[in-house]
Structure 1
Protein backbone atom coordinates (compact mmCIF):
# COMPACT_ATOMS: atom_id res chain seq x y z
CA UNK A 1 0.00 0.00 0.00
CA UNK A 2 1.32 3.44 -0.89
CA UNK A 3 0.81 6.87 0.62
CA UNK A 4 -1.19 8.13 -2.40
CA UNK A 5 -3.57 5.18 -2.11
CA UNK A 6 -3.85 5.68 1.65
CA UNK A 7 -4.55 9.37 1.11
CA UNK A 8 -7.29 8.52 -1.37
CA UNK A 9 -8.94 6.25 1.22
CA UNK A 10 -8.67 9.01 3.84
CA UNK A 11 -10.38 11.44 1.45
CA UNK A 12 -13.14 8.86 0.96
CA UNK A 13 -13.56 7.95 4.61
CA UNK A 14 -12.83 11.03 6.74
CA UNK A 15 -15.05 14.08 6.71
CA UNK A 16 -13.29 17.20 5.46
CA UNK A 17 -14.00 20.82 6.45
CA UNK A 18 -14.95 21.42 2.80
CA UNK A 19 -15.34 19.20 -0.25
CA UNK A 20 -11.98 18.15 -1.71
CA UNK A 21 -11.59 19.45 -5.24
CA UNK A 22 -10.10 17.16 -7.89
CA UNK A 23 -7.25 19.56 -8.63
CA UNK A 24 -6.38 19.80 -4.94
CA UNK A 25 -6.41 16.04 -4.60
CA UNK A 26 -4.20 15.67 -7.68
CA UNK A 27 -1.56 18.01 -6.23
CA UNK A 28 -1.62 16.22 -2.87
CA UNK A 29 -1.33 12.82 -4.59
CA UNK A 30 1.74 14.04 -6.50
CA UNK A 31 3.24 15.12 -3.18
CA UNK A 32 2.42 11.72 -1.68
CA UNK A 33 4.10 9.97 -4.62
CA UNK A 34 7.21 12.09 -4.18
CA UNK A 35 7.39 11.31 -0.46
CA UNK A 36 7.13 7.58 -1.20
CA UNK A 37 9.85 7.84 -3.87
CA UNK A 38 12.11 9.68 -1.42
CA UNK A 39 11.39 7.09 1.26
CA UNK A 40 12.16 4.22 -1.14
CA UNK A 41 15.51 5.77 -2.08
CA UNK A 42 14.48 6.24 -5.71
CA UNK A 43 15.09 10.00 -5.46
CA UNK A 44 16.58 12.52 -3.08
CA UNK A 45 16.19 16.23 -2.53
CA UNK A 46 19.00 18.70 -3.09
CA UNK A 47 17.52 21.85 -1.69
CA UNK A 48 14.19 21.93 -3.56
CA UNK A 49 15.35 19.85 -6.55
CA UNK A 50 14.35 16.21 -7.06
CA UNK A 51 17.38 14.14 -8.04
CA UNK A 52 16.81 10.55 -9.24
CA UNK A 53 19.33 8.24 -7.56
CA UNK A 54 18.05 4.75 -8.29
CA UNK A 55 16.27 3.02 -11.11
CA UNK A 56 14.94 0.18 -8.96
CA UNK A 57 11.23 -0.57 -9.02
CA UNK A 58 9.00 -0.03 -6.00
CA UNK A 59 6.62 -2.90 -6.78
CA UNK A 60 3.68 -0.53 -7.25
CA UNK A 61 2.61 0.24 -10.83
CA UNK A 62 1.68 3.88 -10.21
CA UNK A 63 4.77 4.64 -8.12
CA UNK A 64 6.94 3.03 -10.78
CA UNK A 65 5.25 5.27 -13.37
CA UNK A 66 6.02 8.24 -11.13
CA UNK A 67 9.66 7.15 -10.84
CA UNK A 68 9.83 6.87 -14.62
CA UNK A 69 8.49 10.43 -14.91
CA UNK A 70 11.34 11.96 -12.89
CA UNK A 71 13.45 14.49 -14.80
CA UNK A 72 16.90 12.92 -15.12
CA UNK A 73 18.92 15.87 -16.37
CA UNK A 74 20.33 18.84 -14.49
CA UNK A 75 19.18 21.23 -13.18
CA UNK A 76 16.51 18.62 -12.35
CA UNK A 77 12.97 19.55 -11.44
CA UNK A 78 11.81 21.54 -8.43
CA UNK A 79 9.27 20.04 -6.05
CA UNK A 80 6.76 22.68 -7.11
CA UNK A 81 7.23 21.94 -10.82
CA UNK A 82 6.84 18.20 -10.07
CA UNK A 83 3.55 18.79 -8.26
CA UNK A 84 2.06 20.70 -11.17
CA UNK A 85 3.38 18.41 -13.92
CA UNK A 86 2.86 15.04 -12.27
CA UNK A 87 -0.34 16.16 -10.54
CA UNK A 88 -2.10 16.95 -13.80
CA UNK A 89 -5.11 14.60 -13.75
CA UNK A 90 -3.59 12.36 -11.07
CA UNK A 91 -6.85 12.11 -9.08
CA UNK A 92 -8.45 10.42 -12.09
CA UNK A 93 -5.52 8.01 -12.42
CA UNK A 94 -5.69 6.92 -8.78
CA UNK A 95 -9.46 6.66 -8.56
CA UNK A 96 -9.54 4.60 -11.75
CA UNK A 97 -6.86 2.33 -10.29
CA UNK A 98 -8.92 2.01 -7.12
CA UNK A 99 -12.00 1.10 -9.15
CA UNK A 100 -10.88 -0.32 -12.52
CA UNK A 101 -14.29 0.19 -14.13
CA UNK A 102 -13.34 3.84 -14.46
CA UNK A 103 -16.28 5.14 -12.42
CA UNK A 104 -14.18 5.76 -9.32
CA UNK A 105 -13.96 9.52 -9.81
CA UNK A 106 -17.73 9.94 -10.04
CA UNK A 107 -18.18 7.85 -6.90
CA UNK A 108 -15.32 9.53 -5.04
CA UNK A 109 -16.90 12.93 -5.25
CA UNK A 110 -20.37 11.60 -4.39
CA UNK A 111 -18.92 10.02 -1.21
CA UNK A 112 -20.30 6.48 -1.55
CA UNK A 113 -19.93 3.74 1.03
CA UNK A 114 -16.76 2.13 -0.35
CA UNK A 115 -16.13 -1.58 -0.07
CA UNK A 116 -14.11 -2.85 2.87
CA UNK A 117 -10.69 -4.22 1.94
CA UNK A 118 -7.32 -4.97 3.49
CA UNK A 119 -5.93 -1.85 1.81
CA UNK A 120 -8.68 0.31 3.27
CA UNK A 121 -8.11 -1.14 6.75
CA UNK A 122 -4.35 -0.46 6.49
CA UNK A 123 -5.05 3.13 5.48
CA UNK A 124 -7.45 3.48 8.43
CA UNK A 125 -4.80 2.08 10.79
CA UNK A 126 -2.21 4.51 9.47
CA UNK A 127 -4.72 7.34 9.96
CA UNK A 128 -5.62 6.15 13.46
CA UNK A 129 -1.99 6.27 14.65
CA UNK A 130 -1.66 9.78 13.14
CA UNK A 131 1.22 8.85 10.86
CA UNK A 132 2.85 12.25 10.15
CA UNK A 133 3.14 12.03 6.35
CA UNK A 134 -0.46 10.93 5.84
CA UNK A 135 -1.93 13.34 8.38
CA UNK A 136 0.19 16.19 7.02
CA UNK A 137 -1.05 15.64 3.46
CA UNK A 138 -4.64 15.27 4.64
CA UNK A 139 -4.36 18.46 6.71
CA UNK A 140 -3.33 20.36 3.58
CA UNK A 141 -6.62 19.18 2.03
CA UNK A 142 -8.62 20.36 5.06
CA UNK A 143 -9.00 16.90 6.59
CA UNK A 144 -8.09 16.40 10.22
CA UNK A 145 -6.10 18.85 12.28
CA UNK A 146 -4.45 21.76 10.45
CA UNK A 147 -0.74 22.29 10.82
CA UNK A 148 0.26 18.64 11.34
CA UNK A 149 3.82 18.40 10.05
CA UNK A 150 6.32 15.63 9.86
CA UNK A 151 8.79 15.97 12.69
CA UNK A 152 11.70 18.07 13.84
CA UNK A 153 14.43 19.97 12.10
CA UNK A 154 17.20 17.72 13.41
CA UNK A 155 16.13 14.80 11.22
CA UNK A 156 16.94 15.15 7.48
CA UNK A 157 14.05 12.82 6.63
CA UNK A 158 11.67 15.09 8.50
CA UNK A 159 13.12 18.10 6.66
CA UNK A 160 12.22 16.42 3.37
CA UNK A 161 8.68 15.77 4.58
CA UNK A 162 8.32 19.36 5.82
CA UNK A 163 9.57 20.74 2.48
CA UNK A 164 7.18 18.62 0.41
CA UNK A 165 4.21 19.38 2.69
CA UNK A 166 4.96 23.12 2.60
CA UNK A 167 5.22 23.02 -1.19
CA UNK A 168 1.93 21.14 -1.47
CA UNK A 169 0.34 23.81 0.73
CA UNK A 170 1.75 26.60 -1.47
CA UNK A 171 0.50 24.88 -4.64
CA UNK A 172 -2.98 24.45 -3.16
CA UNK A 173 -3.04 28.14 -2.20
CA UNK A 174 -1.97 29.08 -5.73
CA UNK A 175 -4.65 26.86 -7.26
CA UNK A 176 -7.34 28.45 -5.06
CA UNK A 177 -6.14 31.92 -6.11
CA UNK A 178 -6.53 30.91 -9.77
CA UNK A 179 -10.07 29.66 -9.04
CA UNK A 180 -10.96 32.94 -7.32
CA UNK A 181 -9.59 35.00 -10.23
CA UNK A 182 -11.69 32.95 -12.65
CA UNK A 183 -14.80 33.44 -10.54
CA UNK A 184 -14.21 37.20 -10.42
CA UNK A 185 -13.64 37.34 -14.18
CA UNK A 186 -16.76 35.26 -14.84
CA UNK A 187 -18.83 37.47 -12.53
CA UNK A 188 -17.50 40.61 -14.24
CA UNK A 189 -18.32 39.14 -17.65
CA UNK A 190 -21.84 38.23 -16.50
CA UNK A 191 -22.33 41.79 -15.17
CA UNK A 192 -21.32 43.29 -18.52
CA UNK A 193 -24.09 41.33 -20.24
CA UNK A 194 -26.64 42.26 -17.57
CA UNK A 195 -25.91 46.00 -17.80
CA UNK A 196 -28.65 48.02 -19.54
Structure 2
Protein backbone atom coordinates (compact mmCIF):
# COMPACT_ATOMS: atom_id res chain seq x y z
CA UNK A 1 0.00 0.00 0.00
CA UNK A 2 0.95 3.64 -0.39
CA UNK A 3 0.57 6.70 1.80
CA UNK A 4 -2.20 8.25 -0.35
CA UNK A 5 -4.17 4.99 -0.24
CA UNK A 6 -3.72 4.71 3.52
CA UNK A 7 -4.76 8.35 3.87
CA UNK A 8 -7.96 7.84 1.88
CA UNK A 9 -8.85 4.76 3.91
CA UNK A 10 -8.30 6.67 7.15
CA UNK A 11 -10.33 9.61 5.84
CA UNK A 12 -13.27 7.37 4.94
CA UNK A 13 -13.10 5.48 8.23
CA UNK A 14 -12.73 8.58 10.40
CA UNK A 15 -15.16 10.88 8.66
CA UNK A 16 -17.69 10.34 11.47
CA UNK A 17 -20.70 11.37 9.42
CA UNK A 18 -19.35 14.74 8.26
CA UNK A 19 -18.27 15.37 4.73
CA UNK A 20 -14.64 16.21 4.07
CA UNK A 21 -13.99 18.81 1.40
CA UNK A 22 -13.11 16.86 -1.75
CA UNK A 23 -10.73 19.59 -2.93
CA UNK A 24 -8.81 19.57 0.36
CA UNK A 25 -8.49 15.80 0.22
CA UNK A 26 -7.23 15.91 -3.38
CA UNK A 27 -4.50 18.38 -2.47
CA UNK A 28 -3.43 16.28 0.51
CA UNK A 29 -3.41 13.11 -1.60
CA UNK A 30 -1.07 14.84 -4.05
CA UNK A 31 1.19 15.71 -1.14
CA UNK A 32 1.09 12.11 0.05
CA UNK A 33 2.10 10.92 -3.42
CA UNK A 34 5.05 13.30 -3.48
CA UNK A 35 6.20 12.13 -0.04
CA UNK A 36 6.14 8.52 -1.26
CA UNK A 37 8.10 9.49 -4.39
CA UNK A 38 10.69 11.20 -2.22
CA UNK A 39 10.89 8.14 0.00
CA UNK A 40 11.48 5.83 -2.98
CA UNK A 41 14.09 8.22 -4.44
CA UNK A 42 11.95 8.70 -7.53
CA UNK A 43 12.25 12.42 -6.76
CA UNK A 44 14.20 14.79 -4.57
CA UNK A 45 13.79 18.43 -3.61
CA UNK A 46 16.16 21.24 -4.49
CA UNK A 47 14.69 24.08 -2.49
CA UNK A 48 11.02 23.91 -3.38
CA UNK A 49 11.63 22.31 -6.81
CA UNK A 50 10.90 18.66 -7.51
CA UNK A 51 13.79 17.02 -9.35
CA UNK A 52 13.22 13.56 -10.87
CA UNK A 53 15.48 10.89 -9.46
CA UNK A 54 15.81 7.14 -9.71
CA UNK A 55 12.85 5.69 -11.61
CA UNK A 56 11.92 2.48 -9.83
CA UNK A 57 9.20 0.07 -10.90
CA UNK A 58 6.13 1.20 -8.97
CA UNK A 59 3.39 -1.45 -8.75
CA UNK A 60 0.69 1.02 -7.70
CA UNK A 61 -0.90 2.43 -10.87
CA UNK A 62 -1.75 5.88 -9.55
CA UNK A 63 1.60 6.40 -7.88
CA UNK A 64 3.31 5.25 -11.07
CA UNK A 65 1.28 7.85 -12.96
CA UNK A 66 2.46 10.45 -10.46
CA UNK A 67 6.10 9.49 -11.02
CA UNK A 68 5.64 9.59 -14.80
CA UNK A 69 4.15 13.07 -14.62
CA UNK A 70 7.17 14.68 -12.95
CA UNK A 71 8.64 17.54 -14.96
CA UNK A 72 11.85 16.26 -16.53
CA UNK A 73 13.62 19.53 -17.32
CA UNK A 74 14.81 22.58 -15.38
CA UNK A 75 13.49 24.73 -13.84
CA UNK A 76 11.31 21.76 -12.84
CA UNK A 77 8.07 22.14 -10.92
CA UNK A 78 7.57 23.69 -7.52
CA UNK A 79 5.90 21.70 -4.77
CA UNK A 80 3.02 24.18 -4.76
CA UNK A 81 2.46 23.84 -8.51
CA UNK A 82 2.61 20.05 -8.19
CA UNK A 83 -0.11 20.04 -5.54
CA UNK A 84 -2.52 22.07 -7.67
CA UNK A 85 -1.79 20.25 -10.94
CA UNK A 86 -1.57 16.69 -9.68
CA UNK A 87 -4.28 17.24 -7.07
CA UNK A 88 -6.96 18.19 -9.60
CA UNK A 89 -9.65 15.50 -9.25
CA UNK A 90 -7.25 13.16 -7.45
CA UNK A 91 -9.66 12.09 -4.71
CA UNK A 92 -12.15 10.95 -7.36
CA UNK A 93 -9.39 9.04 -9.16
CA UNK A 94 -8.46 7.15 -6.01
CA UNK A 95 -12.08 6.41 -5.18
CA UNK A 96 -12.58 5.04 -8.70
CA UNK A 97 -9.49 2.86 -8.28
CA UNK A 98 -10.80 1.55 -4.96
CA UNK A 99 -14.13 0.71 -6.56
CA UNK A 100 -12.47 -1.06 -9.51
CA UNK A 101 -10.40 -3.12 -7.07
CA UNK A 102 -13.40 -4.14 -4.97
CA UNK A 103 -12.33 -2.13 -1.95
CA UNK A 104 -15.65 -0.27 -1.85
CA UNK A 105 -19.18 -1.53 -1.55
CA UNK A 106 -22.65 -0.01 -1.41
CA UNK A 107 -24.32 -0.04 1.98
CA UNK A 108 -28.05 -0.52 1.39
CA UNK A 109 -30.29 1.27 3.87
CA UNK A 110 -33.70 -0.29 3.42
CA UNK A 111 -35.07 1.53 6.44
CA UNK A 112 -34.25 4.86 4.81
CA UNK A 113 -35.96 4.64 1.42
CA UNK A 114 -35.44 8.29 0.53
CA UNK A 115 -31.69 8.29 1.06
CA UNK A 116 -29.18 7.05 -1.45
CA UNK A 117 -26.93 4.10 -0.68
CA UNK A 118 -23.67 4.96 1.02
CA UNK A 119 -20.28 3.83 -0.29
CA UNK A 120 -18.26 2.10 2.43
CA UNK A 121 -14.92 0.34 2.62
CA UNK A 122 -14.78 -3.43 2.56
CA UNK A 123 -12.74 -5.33 5.14
CA UNK A 124 -9.45 -5.93 3.33
CA UNK A 125 -5.80 -6.38 4.35
CA UNK A 126 -5.14 -2.91 2.90
CA UNK A 127 -7.74 -1.40 5.21
CA UNK A 128 -6.30 -3.20 8.23
CA UNK A 129 -2.80 -2.04 7.32
CA UNK A 130 -3.93 1.58 7.06
CA UNK A 131 -5.74 1.27 10.38
CA UNK A 132 -2.62 -0.15 12.02
CA UNK A 133 -0.55 2.73 10.67
CA UNK A 134 -3.11 5.21 11.99
CA UNK A 135 -3.43 3.68 15.45
CA UNK A 136 0.38 3.63 15.68
CA UNK A 137 0.21 7.44 15.22
CA UNK A 138 2.63 7.31 12.29
CA UNK A 139 3.82 10.91 12.01
CA UNK A 140 3.51 11.56 8.27
CA UNK A 141 0.08 9.96 7.97
CA UNK A 142 -1.09 11.88 11.03
CA UNK A 143 0.17 15.18 9.65
CA UNK A 144 -1.51 14.59 6.28
CA UNK A 145 -4.79 13.58 7.90
CA UNK A 146 -4.75 16.74 9.99
CA UNK A 147 -4.24 18.82 6.85
CA UNK A 148 -7.22 17.11 5.24
CA UNK A 149 -9.43 18.14 8.15
CA UNK A 150 -9.17 15.10 10.40
CA UNK A 151 -7.95 15.49 13.96
CA UNK A 152 -5.00 13.15 14.02
CA UNK A 153 -3.06 14.67 16.90
CA UNK A 154 -2.85 13.10 20.32
CA UNK A 155 -3.22 15.36 23.39
CA UNK A 156 -2.58 18.38 21.17
CA UNK A 157 0.92 17.26 20.23
CA UNK A 158 2.12 18.00 16.72
CA UNK A 159 3.28 15.03 14.61
CA UNK A 160 7.04 14.54 14.98
CA UNK A 161 8.32 14.83 11.40
CA UNK A 162 12.07 15.38 11.07
CA UNK A 163 12.84 14.90 7.35
CA UNK A 164 13.38 18.37 5.85
CA UNK A 165 11.95 17.47 2.42
CA UNK A 166 8.83 15.99 3.99
CA UNK A 167 8.44 19.07 6.20
CA UNK A 168 8.62 21.23 3.06
CA UNK A 169 5.87 19.19 1.40
CA UNK A 170 3.66 19.24 4.50
CA UNK A 171 4.03 23.02 4.81
CA UNK A 172 3.04 23.44 1.15
CA UNK A 173 0.03 21.15 1.66
CA UNK A 174 -1.20 23.21 4.62
CA UNK A 175 -0.72 26.45 2.65
CA UNK A 176 -2.63 25.06 -0.35
CA UNK A 177 -5.53 23.86 1.80
CA UNK A 178 -5.74 27.27 3.48
CA UNK A 179 -5.65 28.97 0.08
CA UNK A 180 -8.49 26.78 -1.17
CA UNK A 181 -10.55 27.52 1.94
CA UNK A 182 -9.99 31.25 1.48
CA UNK A 183 -11.18 30.95 -2.12
CA UNK A 184 -14.31 29.09 -1.00
CA UNK A 185 -15.06 31.81 1.53
CA UNK A 186 -14.52 34.53 -1.06
CA UNK A 187 -16.94 32.85 -3.46
CA UNK A 188 -19.50 32.37 -0.70
CA UNK A 189 -19.33 36.08 0.16
CA UNK A 190 -19.68 37.05 -3.49
CA UNK A 191 -22.69 34.76 -3.86
CA UNK A 192 -24.30 36.18 -0.72
CA UNK A 193 -23.75 39.73 -1.98
CA UNK A 194 -25.25 38.83 -5.36
CA UNK A 195 -28.27 37.22 -3.69
CA UNK A 196 -28.83 40.34 -1.60
CA UNK A 197 -28.72 42.54 -4.69
CA UNK A 198 -31.10 40.22 -6.55
CA UNK A 199 -33.64 40.26 -3.73
CA UNK A 200 -33.55 44.04 -3.61
CA UNK A 201 -34.31 46.37 -0.71
CA UNK A 202 -37.74 44.85 -0.12
CA UNK A 203 -36.43 41.29 0.14
CA UNK A 204 -38.37 40.13 -2.94
TM-score by length of 1: 0.88
Structure with the larger helix share: 1
Separation (CA, whole Å) in 2 of partners of 1:187 and 1:170: 26
Q: Which residue of 1 aligns with 2:164?
A: 159
Separation (CA, whole Å) in 2 of partners of 1:88 and 1:180: 19
CA drift of 1:17 comes to 10
The number of residues matched between the two structures is 187
- The answer as to 2:22 corresponding to 1:31 is no
- The answer as to 2:158 corresponding to 1:148 is yes
Larger Rg computed on CA atoms: 2
Deviates more, 1:50-59 or 1:170-179: 50-59
CA drift of 1:127 comes to 0.4
Which segments of 5 or more consecutive residues in structure 1 lack a partner in the other structure?
153-157
TM-score by length of 2: 0.85
Q: Which residue of 2 aligns with 1:98?
A: 98
Separation (CA, whole Å) in 1 of partners of 2:56 and 2:4: 19
Deviates more, 1:50-59 or 1:122-131: 50-59
Aligned match of 2:184 in 172, 179, 189? 179
Separation (CA, whole Å) in 1 of partners of 2:185 and 2:95: 26
Which segments of 5 or more consecutive residues in structure 2 lack a partner in the other structure?
108-116
Q: Which residue of 2 aligns with 1:62?
A: 62
Separation (CA, whole Å) in 1 of partners of 2:43 and 2:182: 31
Q: Which residue of 2 aligns with 1:155?
A: none
Separation (CA, whole Å) in 1 of partners of 2:40 and 2:52: 11
Separation (CA, whole Å) in 2 of partners of 1:28 and 1:55: 23
